């Protein structure tokens, strides 16, 4: 989980500094993939009751919100043209 949880931020930063729209989309897609993996790990932890649900609820919500934001950014980048 540490790997998937720490990967989105650097990939997002790389996407912000990308030289082409295609590269932006690629980096943001990697961030989204890693966020989704983190979401799955959090759900597994919750279902297996390794931690109390109350401790995980905010993390699950924030991770879901980040997934939605990155997914919307990818759609916007795709909609704004090709290069």
By the 10 Å C-beta count (0-12 exposed, 13-18 middle, 19+ buried), 58 is classed as exposed
Q: How many domains does the chain have?
A: 1
pLDDT in tens, 36-77: 999 999 999 999 988 888 889 999 999 999 999 999 999 999
pLDDT above 60 for 2: yes
Q: What is the pLDDT of residue 24?
A: 94
Q: What is the pLDDT of residue 82?
A: 58
Q: What is the pLDDT of residue 41?
A: 93
Q: What is the pLDDT of residue 55?
A: 84
Q: For residues 7-19, give the mean pLDDT.
A: 88
Look at residues 59, 61, 60, 72 and name the one whose alpha carbon lies nearest to residue 31.
Answer: 72
Residue 59 sits in a domain whose CATH number is 1.20.1440.60
By the 10 Å C-beta count (0-12 exposed, 13-18 middle, 19+ buried), 59 is classed as middle
Query: Which residues form the domain of 49?
Result: 2-79
């Amino acid at each position: 989980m540490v790997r998937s949880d720490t990967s989105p931020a650097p990939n997002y930063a790389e996407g912000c500094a990308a030289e082409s729209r295609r590269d932006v989309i690629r980096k943001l897609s990697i961030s989204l993939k890693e966020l989704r993996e983190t979401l799955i790990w959090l759900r597994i932890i919750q279902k297996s009751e390794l931690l109390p649900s109350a401790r995980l609820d905010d993390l699950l919500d924030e991770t879901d919100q980040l997934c939605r934001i990155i997914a919307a950014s990818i759609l916007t980048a795709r909609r704004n043209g090709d290069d």
